[in-house]
Structure 1
């Protein structure tokens, strides 16, 4: 029944997998087959649901295989880019890469859960990719964070990253000045750095990588060999990590 269900759905949707078989039939044979399909579906409507489940599974597997191909082709840019912050256990057996936008509500929601995942697991390397896609305030926030990373290093960047994720207001000059000052940083060199080619090239490279990887939203995660497009609760993240460890 499962094989017939797939054939029925392929016929009804006009897929190329079954189109050749219909094309080889005579007009009378096609009419007879379609009548048989109609009668069968009227008697067994649950078959169509089963067939759609089969097709959905095939589509999901094809998408997963495509993701694997893209991950393999862009491995270094994803996991080993020296321009991106890396933390957690730098020798961990699993790397989690997050494409993040500071104005993204789901990025804000995921932040504490990702931090808990890294902390509680103890064997995860975390990489953050600045991916501003939600307007000018997103861009300014990423420019500021990258400037801090380039001028003051990983620890200062992580403090600024956490502060920007938690920020509810606008990342205007006064707010960013106060943020830098609270962290003991001189804001003037940071502001001067924000529009330099060194900063903008990081953002441009991340956007190019995201386009190549068919990433259109945030947060998007790469967990070892799995792409996760969108927010996933902590328990779900733990299940994915466990699955990658096999």
Structure 2
């Protein structure tokens, strides 16, 4: 047996409620109806909906819009409550234009296919706009290789600074093989970085603390997947195409 989606069922319930409320109180009271009258009333509603099915879709559209607005308000409150950890945590890499008028925060995982897909589009957004500040949150949630890659990237930031981090971050975002310690060592050496120092830093408490703080922040923001973005006070959950990001930027600037 097939059941209607929850959104449709909710919309139907809203339609039923609206129909009852629209009628004069003295003319309509389900509790005062006989079983035959209730059956007749339900039959009338069913007939009307079958003859006018577009009403259901209109109700669904209104419901979805309201739910989206409620979600946006809730997300905005979450962003405001966690603004310090999001925009000025003292440990995340900052790129783009550090003085930009809009800040974009990205929670990413190096093993995430959609993160890899979003990578060149985020780069294009930064290059073509020129006035966006990017903050990268290492958020490894896809297994041991994800954690290893993030430990390597954070350790590189701690040992080699912003430039070294940018190099390995970009390389990891386009990396297609298994992420192993020997592969990471070769990657560091290829950029002329101190692979031994980075390897020693990878297991440090400082690196562990960054990952734990990012995970705790993600939990507070109800982030369960990557990529996830925060643009000013908006949460963008999931992959967002370049043109959509550009439109959001334009809307924010007004």
- The verdict on a shared fold, with TM-score over 0.5 as the criterion, is yes
1:179: which partner in 2?
A: 187
1:26: which partner in 2?
A: 32
**Among residues 38, 47, 53, which one is paired with 1:39 in the alignment?**
47
Q: Which structure 1 segments of 5+ residues have no match?
A: 1-6
**Among residues 67, 81, 100, which one is paired with 1:59 in the alignment?**
67
1:103: which partner in 2?
A: 111
Structure 1 151/65 Cα, relative in aligned 2: closer, same or farther at 3 Å? same
Aligned length: 238
Q: Within 1, Cα distance between the matches of 2:228 and 2:11?
A: 36
1:4: which partner in 2?
A: none
- Equivalent positions of 1:167-246 (< 5 A) are 167-246=175-254
User: How many Å apart are 1:14 and its aligned residue?
Assistant: 8.1
Q: Which structure 2 segments of 5+ residues have no match?
A: 1-9
Structure 1 32/73 Cα, relative in aligned 2: closer, same or farther at 3 Å? farther
Q: Within 1, Cα distance between the matches of 2:41 and 2:197?
A: 75
Contact 2:30 2:38 in 1 (8 A): no
* TM-score, structure 2 as length reference: 0.86
Runs of 4+ in 1 over 2 A off after TM superposition: 7-15, 21-36
Task: For residue 171 of structure 1, give the secondary structure of its aligned residue in structure 2.
Answer: coil
Q: Deviations over 1:104-161 (max 9, x none)?
A: 1111111111011001101000000000011000000000000011111111101110
Q: Within 2, Cα distance between the matches of 1:109 and 1:183?
A: 24
Report the aligned-residue RMSD. Answer: 2.4
* TM-score, structure 1 as length reference: 0.89
Structure 1 226/23 Cα, relative in aligned 2: closer, same or farther at 3 Å? farther
1:79: which partner in 2?
A: 87
Q: Within 2, Cα distance between the matches of 1:219 and 1:110?
A: 8
Q: Within 2, Cα distance between the matches of 1:138 and 1:55?
A: 38
1:9: which partner in 2?
A: 12
Further displaced range: 133-142 or 34-43: 34-43
Further displaced range: 60-69 or 166-175: 166-175
User: How many Å apart are 1:27 and its aligned residue?
Assistant: 3.6
Task: For residue 107 of structure 2, give the secondary structure of its aligned residue in structure 1.
Answer: strand
Structure 1 11/245 Cα, relative in aligned 2: closer, same or farther at 3 Å? closer
Contact 2:11 2:63 in 1 (8 A): no
